[in-house]
Structure 1
C-alpha cells in the first residue's frame, strides 16, 4: 500500500489506543486539533509522521516497546514504525501558543473553553532556550485574548525576542490589515493565516464575527511580502462543503500563491451532526491539491516552520502524495 493511501486511512480515524512498555509522554495541545483533549502521540515511519489523539475507544491500537519501536494496527492498517516525541506540540519544533484561550467562538474549536493564560516573553524565551539544540523551527500561534490588535502586538514582540536564537520563525495568528508586513519586519520568515472553511457561507456559520474575505485579501498581500512557498492557510475538510467547493477553495489559494493545509475535521460536541471525512475523501483532496500546487509552481517541501514542516495532522499534498 502506498504511503499516501495508508496515511489517509489512519487520518480518517485520527485516534489511537496505547499499549506496551514504552513510557508514553502524550503531547497536550492548547491550540489546533486535540486542544483540551487527552493528548496525542506522534507515530513515524521512514515515509512520514502522523499525529494521533489518544482515545481508549479508538479502533486503532499502537503497541510500543521501551526502545520506541511501535506497531500500529486497525481496520486495513498494519504498519511498523517508531514513537517520535514532541518538543513543544510537535517533533523538532518549538510550536508555542502565546495566548491560550480566545474571545471568538468558532464552533469546531475547543480553545475558547480552555483556561486563559498569556505567556510572557521571559516564559517563551526560557522554553526555547531549554530545547534550542533539539529544534529546527520556532512556530508561534495564538488565540485572541483582549483584542485582535493586542494579540498581534504580543506576537510581534515575541518574534523580535526569539529572533536572537537564529532559528526560523513562523507565525499563525488572526490577521488585520498590515499584519503581514509588521510580522516580516519583526523577523518572521513564514506566516499562516487560516481561512478555515471552503465557502464564505460555511465560514459565517462556523466563525461568527470573523472576516472571511478580509483574510483572503491579507493572504494575497502576504505572498508579495513573504514570497511564494512562505504563506499557508488551513482549510478544514468536513464542515459540510461539497467536493466542488473544496476544490474551488484549493484552486483559489494556490492561484494567489498560498499553500493550502487541508485539515480533516476533528469532531467536537459543538458539531454533533458532522463526522471526520473518509480516507477516500482525504486522499482525493490531497491528490487534487498536489496537482494545483504543481500547476502553480508551489512546493510544500520548502516549508521552514509550522504545520507543513511537521505534517503530522494532515495528508501533505506534494510530500505525502
Structure 2
C-alpha cells in the first residue's frame, strides 16, 4: 500500500476508532489501557500493513471488521473495502515498547479521562522492573506514563526513582507525567532521553475547561525548557483533536510548538468519561490537520522518525508525519 492510500485509510479508521473482530481467537494480540482516555475499555488491537500501524478498540458492533485468519493474518473491511494486513503482538501495551503506567489513578479530574474513576493501584518499582525484564528481548524502548497518586511533586519523585532503576536495561527511556518546573532536569539526570508533557487542549481556555486545577502556561514553559535539555525533536506534547477547538486554534498551537522544537502528537478525541456525548473528529478533519502538522514540522526542521520512545515511535493512535 502506498503512503497516500494508507493516509486515507488510517484517517478513516481513526475517525471510527473501533473494530468488530471475527474469525480465529485474538487473545495473544490484545492490549488494554490503564491510562488516558482509553483506560478501562475491553482492549484493542494493532492492525498493520507493512510498516504502517493503527490501533483500534474492540466493539460488539463497528463499521470496521477485523477478520482474523490465524497466526496474525488478517482481513480488515471498512465501507465495503477489504485490506490485507497483520495483527501485531504488543510487548507491553504496544509493539516494540514496554509502555508502562506507573500509577493508574489520579487526584485530578480531566473531563476526557477515565483514570480517576478506575482508581488503579500504583506499581512497585520491582513490578515495573519485572515487566521490562519479561519483554526485554522484544523491545526497542521503555516508555513510562503516570497519573497522580498523592501530589504532583510526590509522583515526580517516584517516577524519577523508576527511571533511575530502569537505566540498567540500556534501552532508551521516555517519560510522560504532569511536570513541575524542575521535572525536565531531574529526568535528564536520572537517565531519560525523551519526555512528553501534554498540553491536551489547543488553547488555554479549553485546557482550563477540560483540566480544572492544572496549568496550561506552566506546561508550555516546561516544554520550552525541555527542548533545551533533551534537544529539538525529542520533546513531545499530546493535543486532543475534537474538544471544541477550531482548525485555526489547532494550527496556531501546532505552529507554536514546532517553532519551539516540540513535536505535537495530535490525538483524535475518544469520547469517554464526561465527554461521552462528544463526537470523534471525522476523517477529513484528521487528514487536514495531519497535513498542516506535516508542513509545520518540515518548516521547523523536525523529524518524528528520529523519536525513539512513546507515541511518535508507536504511531498506533495518531497520524505521525514521516512514519505514515
Per the TM superposition, whether the score is higher than 0.5 is: yes
Q: How far 1:270 sits from its partner (Å)?
A: 1.0
1:305 corresponds in structure 2 to: 309
**Mapped pair 1:252 → 2:243:** no
Contact 1:9 1:77 in 2 (8 A): no
* Distance change (3 Å), C-alpha of 1:223 and 1:77: farther
How big is the shift at 1:115?
2.8
Distance 1:248 1:266 in 2: 22
Paired position in structure 1 for 2:18: 15
Q: Quote how far apart the aligned CAs of 1:217 are.
A: 0.2
Mapped to 2, the partners of 1:75 and 1:296 lie a distance apart of 37
Looking at structure 2, the residues matched to 90 and 302 of structure 1 have their Cα atoms a distance apart, in angstroms, of: 18
Cross-structure match for 2:201: 197
Distance 1:175 1:39 in 2: 28
CA distance in 1, matches of 2:322, 2:71: 32
Alignment partner, residue 232 of structure 1: 236
Query: Helix, strand or coil for the counterpart of 2:187?
Result: helix
Q: Give how far 1:23 is off.
A: 3.5
SS of the equivalent of 1:100 reads: coil
Change over 3 Å in CA distance of 1:215–1:77 after alignment to 2:
farther
* Alpha-carbon contact 1:171-1:191 (below 8 Å) kept: yes
Aligned to 1:4: 7
8 Å CA contact retained: 1:293, 1:318: no
1:89 aligns with 2:107: no
Query: More deviation in 73-82 or 139-148?
Result: 73-82
2:34 is matched with 30
1:22-42 CA-partner distances (Å, limit 9, x unpaired): 433321110124210111011
| TM-score normalized with structure 2 length | 0.97
- Larger deviation, residues 170-179 vs 265-274: 265-274
| In structure 1, distance between residues paired with 2:218 and 2:26 | 46
Match of 2:73 among 69, 74, 78: 69
Structure 1 153/269 Cα, relative in aligned 2: closer, same or farther at 3 Å? closer
Q: Give the conservation status (yes or no) of the 8 Å contact 2:223–2:235.
A: yes
Counterpart for residue 180 of structure 2: 176
Give secondary structure in 1 for the equivalent of 2:267: strand
Unaligned runs of 5+ in 1: none
Match of 2:148 in 1: 144
CA distance in 2 between partners of 1:173 and 1:205 (Å): 20
- How much does 1:269 deviate? 4.4
**Aligned residues of 1:104 and 1:112 also touching (Cα < 8 A):** yes
Aligned pair count reads 320
Taking a change above 3 Å as real, the CA distance of residues 76 and 211 of structure 1, as seen in their structure-2 partners, is farther
* Whole-angstrom CA distance in 1 between matches of 2:134 and 2:96: 13
CA displacement, residues 239-296 of structure 1 (integer Å, 9 cap, x when unaligned)? 0000100000100110110000000000114114410000000011011000000000
Instruction: Quote the Cα distance in structure 2 between the aligned partners of 1:279 and 1:44.
Output: 19
Q: TM-score, normalised by structure 1?
A: 0.98
Q: Deviations over 1:132-173 (max 9, x none)?
A: 101000001000000000100111000000000000000000
Please state whether the residue corresponding to 2:70 is helix, strand or coil.
Answer: coil
Q: Is the 8 A contact 1:265 1:276 kept in 2?
A: yes
Matched, 1:286 2:290: yes
Deviations 1:101-146 (A, max 9, x none): 0000000001111133111111111111111101000001000000
Q: Residues 37 and 273 of structure 2 are in contact (CA less than 8 Å); yes or no, is this contact kept in structure 1? A: no
Give the alignment of 1:115-130 within 5 angstroms: 115-130=119-134
